[in-house]
């Protein structure tokens, strides 16, 4: 076994079957869930304001009018639609600096899990907010941006403590790749759901999908099992589960 420069022995670091790769995969699914919730409103907006198009136009998006019972239609102006679609970014901008500071004080697993749960609840409330009015939708999306911004920022603290320098790029790439996969999944299925089940079901499906609570539950359970146990990162550096 090779010795370190300071004379302390180094230990072999596991790769793909290690805890940190499991964390990267769990954060990947967290990002998939979160970004799919963010993207679905941009796609359902077509069905939510479908009644504003000229009747009988040959360029209608569907061969026959959508059922107003399954697809409630709202008379939102293009300006209102733009504010609704951009409101999620307002919340995300607010959280950047505060969450970066708080993630160094409070456990990251609690911040990520709570923010992901809040984002899912707000997704479930979006159809109800749309029935109340555009102001309620904007408030709901701003709050969702706050929760999603918390997840985006706080997850980077995990890799500052758990990722070996030589694996940090791969672990970060795996976890952040969910931000591209999430919108892709929403883009593939949202139109079909709107046509067959109605646009409110898009928010219900993405909001209460079993994929969302599973990462947080497995993430927290795995760490509890390792309470008090050091995790070797390489180079003689170790962390404990209490660091998260």
- Write out the DSSP string of 154-176: HHHHHHHHH--TTTHHHHHHHHH
91-117 core/surface letters (b: 16 or more CB in 10 A; e: else): bbeebeeebeebbeeebbbebbbebbe
Report, as an integer, the average pLDDT of 95-100.
88
Q: Kindly state the DSSP code that residue 75 receives in the 8-state scheme.
A: -
pLDDT at 195 over 70: yes
Task: Give which of 155, 158, 196, 162 is closest to 178, Cα–Cα.
Answer: 155
pLDDT confidence of residue 3: 43
- Computed over every residue of the chain, the mean pLDDT equals 77
Report, as an integer, the average pLDDT of 92-110.
87
Q: Which domains does the chain have, with CATH numbers?
A: 19-47+72-243 (1.20.1250.20)
pLDDT tens digits for 156-185? 888 887 778 888 888 888 889 988 999 999
What pLDDT band is residue 228 in, cutting at 50, 70 and 90? very low
Report, as an integer, the average pLDDT of 141-153.
92
pLDDT at 126 over 90: yes
pLDDT confidence of residue 105: 87
pLDDT at 1 over 80: no
pLDDT confidence of residue 85: 92
Select the more confidently predicted residue: 121 or 233: 121
**Lowest-pLDDT choice from 92-101, 181-190, 209-218:** 209-218
pTM, entire model: 0.73
pLDDT tens digits for 21-50? 888 888 898 899 889 999 999 999 988 986
pLDDT at 57 over 50: no
What is the full DSSP assignment across 193-218?
A: HHHHT-THHHHHHHHH-TTTHHHHHH
Segment 187-193 long-range contacts (CB within 8 Å, at least 24 positions apart): 187/39, 187/43, 190/40, 190/43, 190/44, 191/43
CA–CA gap between residue 135 and residue 239 (Å, rounded)? 46
Residue 146 backbone dihedrals phi, psi, to 5 degrees: -65, -45
pLDDT confidence of residue 79: 92
Report, as an integer, the average pLDDT of 116-139.
92
pLDDT at 62 over 80: no
pLDDT confidence of residue 4: 40
pLDDT at 207 over 90: no
């Amino acid at each position: 076994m090779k010795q370190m420069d300071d004379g302390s022995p180094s230990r072999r670091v596991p790769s793909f079957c290690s805890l940190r790769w499991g964390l990267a995969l769990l954060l990947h699914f967290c990002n998939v869930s979160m970004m799919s919730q963010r993207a679905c409103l941009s796609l359902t907006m077509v069905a939510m304001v479908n009644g504003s198009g000229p009747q009988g136009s040959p360029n209608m998006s569907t061969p026959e009018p959508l059922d107003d019972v399954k697809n409630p239609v709202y008379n939102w102006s293009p300006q209102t639609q733009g504010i609704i679609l951009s409101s999620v970014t307002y919340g995300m901008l607010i959280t950047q600096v505060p969450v970066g500071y708080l993630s160094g004080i409070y456990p990251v697993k609690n911040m990520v899990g709570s923010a992901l749960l809040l984002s899912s609840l707000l997704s479930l409330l979006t159809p109800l907010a749309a029935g109340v009015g555009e102001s309620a939708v904007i408030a709901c999306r701003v709050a969702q941006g706050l929760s999603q911004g918390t997840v985006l920022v706080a997850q980077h603290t995990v890799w500052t403590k758990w990722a070996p320098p030589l694996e940090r790029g791969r672990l970060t790439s795996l976890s952040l790749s969910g931000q591209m996969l999430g919108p892709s999944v929403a883009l593939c299925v949202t139109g079909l759901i709107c046509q067959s089940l109605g646009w409110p079901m898009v928010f219900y499906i993405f909001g209460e999908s079993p994929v969302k609570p599973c990462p947080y539950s497995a993430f927290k359970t795995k760490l509890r099992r390792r309470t008090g146990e050091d995790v070797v990162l390489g180079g003689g550096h170790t962390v404990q589960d209490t660091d998260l």
